[in-house]
Structure 1
């Protein structure tokens, strides 16, 4: 695994978009066994997981540098001295490192000596330098006119010793124009960490990873006890029907059963047999019976239940009979789409705000209609797009890892 340095003007607890990106990338690289260090001009050692090195010379608001670069032509000697100091620091700090990822500091106008020092580092060191380009002042018509000074031309020039990454296809076009090049840039988008965003419990995260839940096309959750009137057979048949439609669906069954109660044990075995017979046993996850690869048993609690709601695409309740329907309220609180049987207790709670199906409908009819219903919900489609394409784990495995291996 590689030794990777991540550099920006500042890092957490300083709040900002790029600050959050380098935090998430550092966690990501650490998770995939890289040795990581953050270098920044402002911030703190905000974690015990990896090293954070603060050097005020890297700051975007270093008082002397900020003043000097207002007139770089006049203050060239003083700026050059700062450049030498920064370069010496980078050589020392990164002497055992394989890769330096510089976020925005080669494209923005906040610390000219730092920009020049990194260009020199790339040309004079064995370390591989990546310019991770988010933005440029030249993309905006109201950019500061002092940036027309020849000293700032370095922000518009490609360095053949540096590898460039941009965050979107739109930015790729803008940087091609800025650099006057036809070079094809590597596009790696920003991502999101659903584990941190949702504040998921560690056991939920283990479940997601071991069962590869985020790789499914559709994730249904059924928070029901394992009882015949909960109609779980239909849920399993609907999962099979989704598969027949080419939709990789999974079902999260949260309910427990009493293994000492003969009828409950029989019903559990019946459900397991049905899922195996239909060829969907790997996609029917009995949460209360789940055992991690380590051999540890998952013990679900209210936090687990909340987490499963947060990560699912739809609440699925095919009950034959109910007295009320508390999961409808819980799903409603987090705006989770709901599909349920058309029975009076559910109607009294949800009115016309959910997807209903008749208990006489076939599994194929339910799956087809539910797929159409969900595909007309833009928030659902957006969530699906984000969770399948923009999680940091997905971005790492599909884009960052192949990119690093090809350097």
Structure 2
């Protein structure tokens, strides 16, 4: 669609802290990312200009500044060439209905506002920049893990006792999964480098090369990167044949990540609440248990919510059609 000049109006704006303030800041950023010219304005900054569209958040439906509310309602009638969007978060004032396209943030709010107008009311949810909420690093954002079917994480080095090859065989039984391995090949550790080459060959033979990510290949991960990976992982997979402790098991638990680990003595001692498996376990049977695990399913739903409520999806699919006059949701 063509580039539009858009004003977004509310009583206050970022950096003022508040739910609507966060929404308008993220909505403006998403519109700018699509090339639109956007200004976020409060009453004292508002200026009638050559706007293509004006998105009004709550000012038409709340009683905090009725002088401004009534002035804007009058403008909706005298300037029909502007696409006025009445974005309804709350309804506490409805004495006058603007000549605007009405948007409710939920079906509940649509039914509420329907009591005061017979005009069509569209439902567009408030989006959420989940990457910002979770504090994801740019490197982890770029992996776009929210679109993966299942995310397995193994923070490890390239040491044979880490048993990464078991994870590759498991991955072959999980066709929609990604397997994230944090290690980088160590040029000073000959067997580690050899092990890495063997793993890449095995991944090729199993047909999972595109779904296993040796993240250290592109540089050492920072602590913030690893923390971000824990936020996005559906489970920690730790199939070691021998450990003295197993720190990632503790880190995963602190991040609320379900743990699947081999039932060696150190893991039994450290990994409270984990799902244990034998080193001789069938990858096919283990894959079935992982997919059926309620905590893993809950983590998947969280990532699906990231996609559903991403402004990068909501704006082009739901808001831009209203702004341009095309078919609306």
**Could you say whether these structures have the same fold, taking a TM-score greater than 0.5 normalized by the shorter chain as the test?**
yes
Q: Distance in 2 between matches of 1:215 and 1:166?
A: 27
Higher helix proportion: 1
Q: Partner of 1:11 in structure 2?
A: 13
Determine which structure has more spread, i.e. the larger CA radius of gyration: 1
Counterpart of 1:129 (choices 70, 78, 84) is: 84
Q: Distance in 2 between matches of 1:279 and 1:401?
A: 41
Counterpart of 2:315 (choices 396, 400, 406) is: 396
Runs of 4+ aligned structure 1 residues displaced above 4 Å come to 376-379, 401-407
Q: Partner of 2:203 in structure 1?
A: 275
Q: Normalising by structure 1, what TM-score? A: 0.73
Q: Could you say which structure has the greater relative contact order, defined with CA pairs below 8 angstroms and 6 or more residues apart?
A: 2
Q: CA deviation at 1:20?
A: 1.5
**1:177 alignment partner, SS class:** coil
**1:242 alignment partner, SS class:** coil
**1:137 alignment partner, SS class:** coil
1:249 pairs with 2:177: yes
In the TM superposition, 1:2-401 aligns within 5 A as 2-41=4-43, 54-55=44-45, 90-91=47-48, 94-95=49-50, 97-125=51-79, 126-137=81-92, 153-154=95-96, 157=97, 159=99, 162-181=100-119, 183=120, 185-205=121-141, 207-208=142-143, 212-243=144-175, 248-259=176-187, 261-290=189-218, 298-351=219-272, 353-373=273-293, 375=294, 380=299, 383-401=302-320
Retained in 2: the 8 A contact 1:158–1:179?
no
Cα root mean square deviation, aligned: 2.4
Retained in 1: the 8 A contact 2:159–2:192?
yes
Over residues 250-276 of structure 1, what are the superposed CA-to-partner deviations in whole Å (9 max), with x where a residue is unaligned? Answer: 121101222454433332222223333
| Structure 1 residue runs without a partner (length 5+) | 42-53, 56-88, 139-151, 291-297
Q: Distance in 2 between matches of 1:405 and 1:358?
A: 59
CA gap of 1:401–1:322, structure 2 versus 1, over 3 A, is farther
| Structure 2 residue runs without a partner (length 5+) | none
Q: Distance in 2 between matches of 1:323 and 1:239?
A: 26
Q: Distance in 2 between matches of 1:213 and 1:405?
A: 32
- How many residues in Structure 1 have an aligned counterpart in Structure 2? 323
Q: Distance in 1 between matches of 2:296 and 2:158?
A: 30
